[in-house]
Amino acid sequence: MTSLKKRDGLARQSGLTNQSLLMAKPKLPVSNKEAKLKGRTTYFTGRPCKYGHYSERFTKNRNCRECLRLRNLSKTKKDYWVSYGSEQYKEKKRAYAKRYYYNHKLSENSVNRYAKRRLFEKLSKIATDAGKIQVRRVKISAQMLTIDTGIEHEMDHIIPIINASVCGLEVPTNVRVVTKKENRRKAARFDQEKQSIIQMVLLKKKPSEEG
């Protein structure tokens, strides 16, 4: 790409026209499809763009390279790039990137919702070594019930890990074995009143040493 820019720059200084540049073009793909198949970043159709430029087109967006050069030139004359790369500009870009991350990357509707769940699952695993063994036993119990009854069972978090109002933990007191159908019906729903009664009962009990 650098050699192409250098060649075109020398051609303009020597007074060559676009038609002359057309003859000087190296062998490039003649269509966007061919450029994608060959893994090339540009292609040349031999036809002018809508502004009359005989120049390569970018494979990514089909834009004319000469049009891009002229746009950047006009921006340079208007001091568009004077503050480009300044500390103020960088801070603005950082703030935008942060907003975009929280609005899109962590959105329930985004393609990264599974990554979000994995993150919450990782953060919820705070049980002691003994507690982890108990949780593992619950998972095994669910698998054994599935084999014995022929009905799929799963480990369910009583207080869901991901919820708008609460965040449950993966500890022995917050997991149980339920059928897959019941677990899907419950999903991430949380009954605040019902769970408050359960928590009050648990608070009156002496904490176990298992986690």
For residue 14, pLDDT beyond 60: no
Four-point Cα dihedral 125, 130, 134, 137, nearest 10: 110
Predicted pLDDT of residue 200: 72
Taking the C-alpha atoms of residue 129 and residue 131, their distance in angstroms, rounded to an integer, is 5
Residue 57 has pLDDT above 90, yes or no: yes
Instruction: Report domain extents, the chain.
Output: 2-77, 85-124, 127-204
Three-state secondary-structure class, residue 175: strand
What are 95-107's pLDDT values in tens digits? 888 888 777 665 5
**Alpha-carbon gap, residue 190 to 208, rounded angstroms:** 25
Which residues are CB-neighbours of 155 under 8 A, at least 6 positions away?
A: 135, 138, 139, 142, 175, 176, 177
Work out the average pLDDT over 93-122. 71
Query: Would you say 54 and 48 are in contact if contact means Cβ atoms under 8 Å apart?
Result: yes
What's the pLDDT score for residue 141? Answer: 92
